[in-house]
Amino acid sequence: MSYLVLSLKYRPQTFQEVVGQDHITTTLTNAFKKDRVSQAYLFTGPRGVGKTTTARLVAKALNCMESLGDPCNKCSNCIEITDGRNMDVLEIDGASNRGIEEIRGLREAIQYSPINSKHKIFIIDEVHMLTTPAFNALLRTLEEPPEHGKFILATTDIYKVPATIISRCQRFDFNSITIKEIAKQIKFVLDKEDIQIDDNSLKIIAQKADGSMRDALSTLDQVIAYSGEKITTESVNKVLGIIPNEMYFNILEAIKVKNGKALVDKLAEVRSAGMPVQEFLSGINRHLRNVMIGKAENGLDVLEINDDLKNQYIESAENWEIRDLLRISQVVVDIEQRIKRAVQPHILIELSLLKLLEMDSVVTIQSILEGIEGDAIEERTPKHNFKNDQRRIRVKNENDSSKSPNTNNKIAESPITDKANLVTLEIVKQKWDDFIEELSSEKPSVSNALKHCAIGQLTGNRLEIKMINGNNFNLRTLEKNKLVIEKYLEKIYESPLRTVFLMTRTEEVEKGSDIKKEEMVKANQTTAKLIELFDGEIIN
């Protein structure tokens, strides 16, 4: 006898054996026992979760000669339907029989009474593949079939099925199967096959299945072929090309401590292992998600992982800010979108992750504001701090030294007041003509342009200079000579001032707005500090 794959060998033959779809199997069983049978059913959900299997169970339940509500699997009808040779149950592939002619043939066939069953049942798999004319031809028959006719439609893409079809069916949505349920079913199958497996390997295979029981059993077949009668974590990782969690922890740690060599070494290991780039990126994103969940109290309880791995995630989460993890995750998502078009995907991944080494930690606006407020408090608090209060210089006293050559030179300390914070808008206006005259000795054209300008607001050491009814040429002239202008400003005002050039049409309007802006800045010192810190300006 030829080998039968696990997904067929252990295909459910009763509603009780269907995994993870209790909300559907219970409803159908109760409906059949009460003889509340619909003329059409529509099963929708992801691949490999039991849609077609359930459709066959419905066919057996409706035509079973011994039982009511659940197939007995002993009568001739149940056996024939299981073997796929019952003449009253026709299974049609919607992808291969999608035209109007096939549907017309189906409409004719349903008119004939069943041969040896109570119902004539048509199962249309992947029904969303039918053409629009085929759907239209099916409508009338689907709504009012003969008393003995029943339809069961199955699809993985419900949104491609016309609403007119959906409205004529009882719709059942199949869920993705949980990792716990898949792992339990895998253990049941392996016990039947007399094969040993550890808990970690069970979870790896269940996670790899991504909610599909059929995928889980297909993967299990592959692992058994490699491992034999004992399945280990190492063999599962090798067969499925899965990167160990420790690798992701090491990559994230290298990014955290800015260790470029360690990051390159780990990426080289991934490349040499032959891991598909898409799987690698998906693994990084899952890892980042788990670390972020680990920052929430008891957040990792929702994940089906062992306690040791939970502790690792919690420990890693303590070293990260959630905003930094989100930024890294966004970078990985961007790589996933670009990787399909990349000629050298591994190089793209390496360069993108190496960029993360240059990424500084996120600083929130709240922390900046708190820092500014703290500085303001310090400024209001009297302190004796020679570094901030005054600078002292030493001057050689020639008279004393000349009088007594054996006497140490006397050092006279004279404080120089820091004038950087003493320049006000009034002082700027008072010395403005002196500044323009001084500048004209080196740049006459620039000083001439400045004569047509007005002084705007002064925020910290940031001075606005507004050109009244000027032109772009003069504005560009000022911008090109910005360093020269700032040099002479520092010379006249004995303080480094940064300039910002603006264009305006009417001096009167700007005067009013200037007054408003100055009052706002004076009223809000935090705003003034932010403007100086980020080299910004008040727009309105």
With b meaning 16 or more CB within 10 Å and e meaning fewer, what string describes 226-255? Answer: ebeeebebebbbebeebbebebbbbbbebb
pTM of the full structure = 0.62
For domain 179-240, give the CATH number.
1.10.8.60
The 10s digit of each residue's pLDDT in 437-449 is 888 888 888 888 8
Considering only residues 381 and 50, tell me which one the structure prediction assigns the higher pLDDT. 50
Confidence class for position 147, pLDDT limits 50, 70, 90: confident
Q: What confidence score (pLDDT) does residue 434 get? A: 86
CB burial of residue 276 (10 Å; 0-12, 13-18, 19+): exposed
Considering only residues 43 and 204, tell me which one the structure prediction assigns the higher pLDDT. 43
Domain segments of the chain as ranges: 6-173, 179-240, 245-358, 421-534
Q: What confidence score (pLDDT) does residue 171 get? A: 93
Instruction: Answer whether 208's CB lies under 8 Å from 242's CB.
Output: yes
The CATH homologous superfamily of the domain defined by 6-173: P-loop containing nucleotide triphosphate hydrolases (3.40.50.300)
Q: Measured between alpha carbons, how far is 113 from 120 in angstroms, rounded to an integer? A: 7
The C-alpha angle with vertex 331 and arms to 325 and 337, in degrees rounded to 5, equals 135
Three-state secondary-structure class, residue 55: helix
Count other Cβ atoms within 10 Å, centred on residue 470.
19
Domains 179-240 and 421-534 share a fold: no
The mean pLDDT of the chain is 80
Show Cβ contacts of residue 317 under 8 Å, excluding neighbours closer than 6 positions. Answer: 291, 292, 294, 295
Q: What phi and psi, each to the nearest 5 degrees, are found at residue 523?
A: -75, -20
Q: What phi and psi, each to the nearest 5 degrees, are found at residue 49?
A: -110, 0
Confidence class for position 122, pLDDT limits 50, 70, 90: very high
Show Cβ contacts of residue 194 under 8 Å, excluding neighbours closer than 6 positions. Answer: 229
The 10s digit of each residue's pLDDT in 192-231 is 989 998 888 888 898 888 889 999 999 999 999 988 888 8
Tokens matching residue 83:
């073997």
DSSP character for 92?
A: E
The 10s digit of each residue's pLDDT in 99-109 is 888 888 888 88
Determine which helix (DSSP H) or strand (DSSP E) holds 41, and give its type and residue range. Answer: strand 40-44
Q: Measured between alpha carbons, how far is 52 from 172 in angstroms, rounded to an integer? A: 12
Q: What confidence score (pLDDT) does residue 391 get? A: 39
At residue 266, does pLDDT exceed 80?
Answer: yes
For domain 245-358, give the CATH number.
1.20.272.10
The 10s digit of each residue's pLDDT in 475-506 is 888 888 888 888 888 888 888 888 888 877 65
The 10s digit of each residue's pLDDT in 370-405 is 665 555 555 555 444 444 443 333 334 444 444 444
Determine which helix (DSSP H) or strand (DSSP E) holds 463, and give its type and residue range. Answer: strand 462-468
CATH topology of domain 421-534: GMP Synthetase; Chain A, domain 3 (3.30.300)
Q: Among the listed ranges 114-128, 327-341, 430-444, 524-538, which one has the minimum average pLDDT value?
A: 524-538
Confidence class for position 360, pLDDT limits 50, 70, 90: confident
Q: Among the listed ranges 32-41, 283-292, 415-424, 449-458, which one has the minimum average pLDDT value?
A: 415-424
Q: What confidence score (pLDDT) does residue 365 get? A: 66
